[in-house]
């Protein structure tokens, strides 16, 4: 089962934001969406998560049209981390993460355990009693990540689960970028389908099973990192003259501009 975009097009104010996108996010895999600014990556994420209805085409979640899903069942099946989260009310980190348990009826005690473990997982336990409004950008991002993880913490009966992330590493330092990558790949190993927009090509190469290169509203290339990250394609899409070598330890491609 999968999260599938079927021939999606989106026109907004006379612009073709997305053009005939066909994409399948497999359960148990990490799919990274890369591309230059304004390519339509975040818009695609919003269509995949049901925030924007496409002009034509549709999204299937586990073989069922996205808008046919009852909202609560969908929330237990798919968890979404948006690019910007503006929360101006002084919730503590624990309270923010516990919001991820809203769709579930597992009881306070169970929820508190999950909240604690989720905060541990993203190295944010020390924030548990701090106010969200007083955290740094990277701390906020990790707490929000813990929230969407808590939302799909346990397997549900509605099919494979999916995690949709829009730039989860944008304001993180190096070690927390690595931590996020590890959390995401571990989750995929447990069977969750992960799709994320990411700017750092090397980070994408290090963790993704599939990379989707997005450019001007269409998919320019898709495949495994070493197939996609070649000099010609990256040079054309990003308008640079890159140097691509092999990582000495992992063998994954490394891109230098």
- State in angstroms the smallest separation of the CB of 85 from another protein: 7
Q: Of 193 and 253, which CB lies nearer to another protein in the complex structure?
A: 193
How far CA 128 is from CA of 37, 96, 114, 115, in Å, comes to 34, 9, 13, 9
Q: How many of the other CB atoms lie within 10 Å of CB of 225?
A: 19
Q: Of 133 and 227, which CB lies nearer to another protein in the complex structure?
A: 133
How far CA 52 is from CA of 13, 27, 49, 95, 101, in Å, comes to 14, 23, 8, 28, 24
- State in angstroms the smallest separation of the CB of 144 from another protein: 9
Rounded Cα gap, residues 36 and 43, in angstroms = 13
Q: Of 78 and 205, which CB lies nearer to another protein in the complex structure?
A: 78
Q: Of 90 and 223, which CB lies nearer to another protein in the complex structure?
A: 90
Q: What residues does 6 pair with on adjacent strands?
A: 58
- State in angstroms the smallest separation of the CB of 79 from another protein: 7
DSSP 163-225: EEEESTTTT--HHHHHHHHHHHHHHHHTT-EEEEE-S-HHHHHHH-SEEEEEETTEEEEEE-H
Q: Of 117 and 156, which CB lies nearer to another protein in the complex structure?
A: 156
- State in angstroms the smallest separation of the CB of 72 from another protein: 4
- State in angstroms the smallest separation of the CB of 32 from another protein: 21
> Which parts of this chain interact with another protein (CB under 8 A)?
46, 49-51, 71-76, 78-80, 82, 85-92, 95-96, 99-100, 102-103, 133-134, 151
Rounded Cα gap, residues 168 and 11, in angstroms = 27
Q: Of 85 and 257, which CB lies nearer to another protein in the complex structure?
A: 85
Q: Are 94 and 111 in contact (CB under 8 A)?
A: no
- State in angstroms the smallest separation of the CB of 49 from another protein: 7
DSSP for residue 57? E
């Amino acid at each position: 089962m999968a999260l599938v975009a079927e021939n999606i097009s989106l026109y907004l104010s006379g612009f073709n934001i997305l053009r005939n996108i066909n994409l399948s996010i497999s359960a148990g895999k990490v799919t990274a969406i890369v591309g230059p600014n304004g390519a339509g990556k975040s818009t695609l994420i919003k269509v995949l998560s049901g925030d924007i209805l496409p002009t034509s085409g549709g999204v299937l979640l586990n073989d069922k049209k996205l808008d046919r899903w009852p909202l609560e069942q969908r929330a237990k099946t798919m968890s979404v981390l948006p690019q910007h989260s503006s929360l101006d009310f002084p919730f503590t980190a624990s309270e923010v993460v516990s919001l991820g348990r809203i769709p579930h009826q597992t009881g306070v005690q169970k929820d508190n355990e999950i909240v604690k473990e989720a905060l541990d997982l993203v190295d944010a336990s020390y924030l548990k009693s701090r106010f969200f409004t007083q955290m740094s950008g990277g701390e906020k991002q990790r707490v929000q990540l813990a929230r969407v993880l808590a939302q799909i913490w346990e397997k549900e009966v509605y099919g494979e689960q999916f995690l949709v992330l829009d730039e989860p590493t944008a304001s993180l330092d190096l070690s927390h970028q690595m931590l996020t990558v590890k959390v995401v790949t571990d989750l995929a190993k447990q069977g969750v389908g992960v799709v994320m927009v990411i700017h750092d090509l090397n980070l994408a190469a290090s963790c993704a099973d599939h990379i989707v290169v997005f450019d001007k509203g269409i998919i320019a290339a898709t495949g495994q990192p070493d197939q996609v990250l070649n000099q010609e394609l990256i040079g054309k899409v990003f308008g640079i003259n890159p140097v691509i070598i092999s990582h000495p330890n992992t063998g994954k491609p490394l891109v230098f501009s």
